[in-house]
């Protein structure tokens, strides 16, 4: 019994370390998607170009993730993870030097490659550490580190950019990656059976494809939000948009610790479907927003909804995978995640150019409904590991 309980402990030193590393990595990553569109506007870029700020990193991440997943499964986690963090630091540093739109977009492609390696590695390491019977809870709390980074880093980055310029934003982005590298170096990595081969079929995990597809529709909305939120607020004459991220942080912090437990105890639908409804509602409110309170209301709705959807779908994608295939499972899920962001970023630029920012967000409110239909049609009978064991 004591051995069983020890195997199910969640708050171990290694779990805290990987959550801290993930927070730092995501904090560095989230400094740039909100700042670069504003920066590129000052260099003369229009809305259709701004959509590519996020999309181009998504394309490169999509290209690298399947290969990264299989390499993680074949050669282990530590070396790939540390190399990814170092690569990401070098790519981030490049944005301080050449203020030319085309070159910045080219470097965003390289940045996306580094991001694809680092984020796939981080989530795979976390999957190795989290005990199976608490997987939903563990993934929810681990994902909290990324959500808090989203809540904190963009607001700080925007304030720093307006106060001091792009060089200081880049310095912060690189500095937190140095801290992440140090913490990742002392993390104890779980041994795995290195049996994966370099076959195309080994690059993707079948059980992860459906949650990745659902996530694709939801992150298409996220792509539009990331790219145009700050600009939409400015177009409405709304100041203090940094409070959006504070409200988002509060919503995520309140929801994450509870939602994972609900998934473990009651299944995926009890969290996912209400989360989808909140995301759709948030986008409608955002399309109508013309004051700071409405933007803050959007943040609460979106924070509660997207936080529940992301951790639930990631649990669904990874929970059934064998340890030696978790790299591929995480890569498959993140391909859907990134694919949605990329498509959403580009399409939102086209729609914003035609209908304005309010019309664009209203159009994107349809996509959560599509994701709900896909879940109900193809995945409503899937169960997390804890419930599956009980039913047996």
**Predicted pLDDT at 390:** 47
d(CA 151, CA 375): 28
Which tokens belong to 274? 């209400």
pTM above 0.75, yes or no: yes
Structural tokens at position 231: 């600009």
Q: Which residue is listed with tokens 């171990």?
A: 12
User: Between these two residues, 39 and 373, which has the higher pLDDT value?
Assistant: 373
Q: Is the pLDDT of residue 222 over 50?
A: yes
**What is the per-residue pLDDT for 358?**
93
CB contact at 8 A, 91 and 107: yes
190 pLDDT band (50/70/90 cuts)?
confident
Q: How far apart are CA 196 and CA 324, in angstroms?
A: 7
Mean per-residue pLDDT of the chain: 86
- Per-residue pLDDT reduced to its tens digit, 349-365: 899 989 999 999 999 99
Eight-class DSSP state of 201:
G
Give the pLDDT of residue 7. 55
pLDDT at position 362, please? 95
Provide the token pair at 388.
């599956």
Q: Are 17 and 180 in contact (CB under 8 A)?
A: no
Q: What six digits make up the tokens of 298?
A: 């959007």
- Per-residue pLDDT of 51-109, as tens digits, reads 788 778 888 988 898 888 888 888 889 999 999 999 999 999 998 888 888 898 999 99
- Give the span between the Cα atoms of 391 and 385, in whole angstroms: 10
Predicted local distance difference test score (pLDDT) of residue 227: 77
Handedness of CA 175, 177, 180, 181 (dihedral sign): negative
Element (H, E) at 28: helix 13-30
Domains and CATH numbers, the chain: 10-188+199-391 (1.20.1250.20)
Tokens standing for residue 242: 């940094």
pLDDT reported for residue 228: 86
Task: Please report the pLDDT score of residue 248 as a whole number.
Answer: 84
**pLDDT tens readout for residues 260-272:** 778 878 889 899 9
Could you tell me the pLDDT band of residue 135, with boundaries at 50, 70 and 90? confident
The pLDDT score that the predictor gives to residue 126 is 92
Distance of CA 373 to the CA centre of its chain: 22
Task: Give residue 3's pLDDT.
Answer: 41
Residue 79 CB contacts under 8 Å (≥ 6 apart), including other chains: none
């Amino acid at each position: 019994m004591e051995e069983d309980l020890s195997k199910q402990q969640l708050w171990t030193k290694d779990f805290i370390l990987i959550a801290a590393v993930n927070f730092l990595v995501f904090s560095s990553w989230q400094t740039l998607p909100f700042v670069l569109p504003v920066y590129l506007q000052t260099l003369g870029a229009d809305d259709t170009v701004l959509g590519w700020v996020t999309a181009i990193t998504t394309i490169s991440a999509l290209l690298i993730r399947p290969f990264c997943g299989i390499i993680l499964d074949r050669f282990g986690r530590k070396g790939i993870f540390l190399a990814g963090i170092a690569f990401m630091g070098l790519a981030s540093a490049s944005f301080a030097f050449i203020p030319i739109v085309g070159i910045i977009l080219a470097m965003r492609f390289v940045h996306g490659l580094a991001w694809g390696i680092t984020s796939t590695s981080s989530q795979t390491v976390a999957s190795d550490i989290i005990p199976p019977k608490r997987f939903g809870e563990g993934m929810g709390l681990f994902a909290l580190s990324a959500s808090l980074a989203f809540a904190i880093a963009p607001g700080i980055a925007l304030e720093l950019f307006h106060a001091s310029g792009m060089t200081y934003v880049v310095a912060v982005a690189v500095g937190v990656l140095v801290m992440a590298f140090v913490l990742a170096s002392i993390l104890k990595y779980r041994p795995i059976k290195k049996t994966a081969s370099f076959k195309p079929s080994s690059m993707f995990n079948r059980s992860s494809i459906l949650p990745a597809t659902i996530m694709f529709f939801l992150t298409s909305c996220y792509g539009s939000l990331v790219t145009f939120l700050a600009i939409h607020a400015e177009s409405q004459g709304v100041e203090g948009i940094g409070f959006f991220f504070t409200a988002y942080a509060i919503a995520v912090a309140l929801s994450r610790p509870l939602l994972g437990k609900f998934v473990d105890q009651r299944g995926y639908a009890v969290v996912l479907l209400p989360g989808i409804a909140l995301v759709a509602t948030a986008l409608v409110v955002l399309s109508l927003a013309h004051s700071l309170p409405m933007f803050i209301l959007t943040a609460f709705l979106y924070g509660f909804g997207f936080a529940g959807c992301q951790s639930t779908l990631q649990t669904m994608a990874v929970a059934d995978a064998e340890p030696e295939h978790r790299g591929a499972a995480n890569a498959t899920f993140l391909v859907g995640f990134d694919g949605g962001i990329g498509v959403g970023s580009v399409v939102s630029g086209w729609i914003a150019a035609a209908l304005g920012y309010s019309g664009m967000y209203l159009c994107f409110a349809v996509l959560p409904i599509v994701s709900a239909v896909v879940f109900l049609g193809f995945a409503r009978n899937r169960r997390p590991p804890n419930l599956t064991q009980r039913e047996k």
